[in-house]
Structures are given as structure tokens and as C-alpha cells.
Amino acid sequence: MSVWRPVACHSTTSPRNRSGMSIMSPPAFNPKHKEVPDSVLLQVPGVVAGTMFGYPAYYINKKLFACLYEEGVGIKVAEKIAGSLVGRKGSIRFQPKGRKPMKEWIQINHEHAEDYRMDQEILKISIEHVSS
């Protein structure tokens, strides 16, 4: 499965900031996976699409509850629920950019975008958790 990354047109080296430090690479996510969350989540009153560090994301009452990341969707739920979901088919701890796993976040990875329709209940739980 290919992951979308914008192509740099101006240079073959990593861009640098004023201090000479390498600037992070563009976000990677599977654009095909965006269609299903858009169709499901943007029907929920109060949910709006946005971005989080360049990744497509979803907010309720200006609070982030889900985002696309690499080959999956990161979803914020209560820590106890996250623990119970980790290990289920395609579910892992959300660990963006190789950082420490996030206690209240999981990442669900599906090969086919349509499979995210099976996760509507988890997304509903996430919206309720973030809204409270």
C-alpha cells in the first residue's frame, strides 16, 4: 500500500531551518483511508475536519479525537478502553513519529479503506470521551 508524501521540487537535500537543523519530512498517510472517516464522521453534528501537524484530523468542540497517520487512523479513547483494544486485529498503541506510546490513543490499521466502517462504534466512543 502506498503512502502519500509530497515531492520536494527545489532540492534533493533535506530542508534546513535557520539553525541548520533538518526540518521534519512531510506527513505520511494513505489518502484512500480518508474517504471513509470523512463520510462517517462529518455527518456527526459538531465534528469538523482539520489537520494536526499536517495530517488529516477530526475535531469535536475544537478538541482533537482522531487523525490519519501512515497506514491507519489514530483515535483518542479513555486509557482503560485503549488498553482493552490494543492487540485486537489491526489495533496498536498510537506512537506517532516513533515517540513514546500515548496512553489514551490507539491506532487502527486496515488494509482496505472500507474496513474503517467497522470502527464506527469506537469512533463514537472517542467523540463521547473527548466531548465530556
Give the type of residue at 100: K
The alpha carbon dihedral of 76, 22, 32, 85 has a sign of: negative
* Per-residue model confidence as pLDDT tens digits over 13-55: 445 555 454 455 666 898 889 999 999 999 999 999 999 988 9
Just give the CATH number of 31-131: 3.90.1150.30
| Phi, psi values for residue 40, rounded to 5° | -85, -50
| The predicted structure's pLDDT at residue 123 | 96
By 3-state DSSP, what share of the chain in percent is helix, strand and coil, each rounded to 5?
Answer: 30, 30, 40
pLDDT in tens, 6-21: 433 333 444 555 545 4
Write out the DSSP string of 63-119.
Answer: EEEEEEEBTEEEEE--HHHHHHHTTSTTEEE--GGG-PPPTTEEEEE-SSGGGGGGG
Contact (Cβ atoms closer than 8 angstroms) between residue 77 and residue 125: yes
Q: What's the pLDDT tens digit per position in 106-122? A: 999 999 999 999 999 99
* 56 against 96, higher pLDDT: 56
Query: Would you list the domain boundaries of the chain?
Result: 31-131
Q: Please, are residues 63 and 130 in contact by the beta-carbon 8 Å criterion?
A: yes
Are 76 and 60 in contact, with CB atoms under 8 Å apart?
no
| Confidence label for 99 from pLDDT (cuts 50, 70 and 90) | confident
